[in-house]
């Protein structure tokens, strides 16, 4: 097939949607020289950046590559590729003519994550970046949330459906609020403070606004938490052992970074009759409501039965600091909270929690 005959139906539909919003504006487009399948470093075929003025001046990025841009290749007839493309809205200075390179790299990093792991993003998801979303900046935005782009509805393309997910930079405590309540509720509560959900590296947490903090607290108490699964890097289980002079308790180990979140999550899950599952490398810990506190062990799964007393005790003692937690309501086991070392992309420890 000659170069002129290459089918670009998926690509063309995305460009048509952006043209509907921005008319004849020529975007800043950044293509990939060597395709990912041929050994190139960037999985996305391209990223376009448009200049938007409302509700505040910003760059409106859109990716090309999570969906099938050319002919249909996957066996899933309903969705095109992974079924989505990402957008990202970032504040723009009046004299800014080129979008910042870090934002392009961030979007490519999202592509690397999806292509390598196979995990896809959906509206309501969040992702902890374990550091500033703009490396080297002192921004308080250290995580990302995902929702539908308000200007780009889901498309039916020749290759299947594609939805546009807007990526939003959030702070650590905003991430915790989304975990202990839910992403959509949190974003709804702060939309007046974050017009258009445009990412602004210089902003403070919206939870510093009393009305928003109160809305989040009320929402969490009313609805509980929508987080049923929490992926934990530091998660281990050691069964109790019989010794000559007694039995050592079983030990559940998790990192300090997650300990505080788990303490809050169990209130919004267990007390609402919902399970909370911690997922680690080769191990799952399922926390569920029970009439009496206790635990059962399987080959790669531990089930903790928690009653109201054990939930209250556990929530009170799970703090983001190194400690050994012994629960009077949960006999035969202890919880070891270990320090969490946050590393940069080169593997250097940049922060220690606990």
Q: Which pLDDT tens digit goes with each residue over 116-135? A: 988 899 999 999 998 899 98
Indicate whether 113 pLDDT > 60.
Answer: yes
Domains of the chain are: 8-223 (no CATH), 229-353 (3.30.1360.230)
Which residues, including other chains, have CB under 8 Å from residue 186's CB and lie 6 or more apart?
A: 145, 174, 177, 178, 216, 219
Indicate whether 246 pLDDT > 90.
Answer: no
Indicate whether 5 pLDDT > 90.
Answer: no
Query: What does the pLDDT look like over 300-325, one tens digit per residue?
Result: 899 999 999 999 988 888 888 898 98
pTM: 0.86
Which residues, including other chains, have CB under 8 Å from residue 303's CB and lie 6 or more apart?
A: 285, 286, 288, 295, 296, 297
Which residues, including other chains, have CB under 8 Å from residue 112's CB and lie 6 or more apart?
A: 43
Pairing state between β 250-255 and 333-338 = parallel
């Amino acid at each position: 097939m000659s170069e002129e005959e290459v089918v670009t139906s998926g690509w063309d539909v995305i460009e048509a949607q952006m043209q509907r919003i921005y008319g004849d504006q020529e975007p800043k487009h950044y293509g990939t020289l060597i395709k990912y399948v041929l050994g190139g470093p960037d999985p996305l075929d391209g990223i376009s950046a448009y200049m938007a003025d409302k509700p505040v001046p910003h760059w409106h990025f859109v990716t090309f590559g999570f969906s099938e841009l050319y002919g249909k290749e996957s066996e899933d007839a309903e969705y095109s590729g992974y079924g989505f493309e990402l957008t990202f809205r970032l504040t723009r200075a009046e004299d800014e003519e080129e979008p910042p390179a870090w934002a392009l790299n961030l979007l490519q990093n999202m592509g690397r994550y999806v292509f390598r792991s196979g995990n896809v993003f959906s509206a309501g998801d969040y992702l902890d970046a374990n550091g500033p979303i703009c490396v080297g900046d002192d921004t308080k935005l250290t995580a990302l949330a995902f929702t539908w782009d308000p200007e780009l509805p889901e498309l039916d393309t020749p290759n299947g459906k594609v939805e546009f997910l807007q990526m939003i930079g959030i702070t650590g405590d905003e991430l915790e609020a989304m975990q202990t309540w839910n992403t959509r509720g949190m974003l709804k509560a702060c939309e007046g403070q974050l017009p258009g959900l445009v990412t602004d590296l210089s902003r403070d947490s919206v939870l510093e606004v009393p009305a928003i903090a109160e809305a989040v607290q009320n929402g969490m108490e009313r609805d509980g938490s929508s987080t049923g699964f929490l992926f934990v890097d530091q998660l281990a289980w050691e069964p109790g052992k019989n010794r000559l002079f007694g039995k050592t308790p079983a030990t559940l180990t998790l990192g300090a970074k997650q300990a505080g979140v788990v303490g809050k999550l169990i209130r919004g899950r267990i007390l609402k009759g919902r399970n909370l599952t911690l997922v680690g490398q080769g191990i799952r810990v399922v926390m569920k409501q029970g009439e009496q506190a206790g635990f059962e062990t399987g080959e790669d799964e531990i089930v903790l039965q928690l009653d109201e007393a054990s939930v209250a005790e556990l929530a009170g003692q799970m703090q983001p600091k190194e400690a050994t937690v012994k629960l009077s309501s949960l006999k035969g086991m202890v919880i070891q909270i270990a320090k969490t070392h946050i590393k940069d992309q080169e593997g250097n420890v940049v922060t220690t929690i606990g």
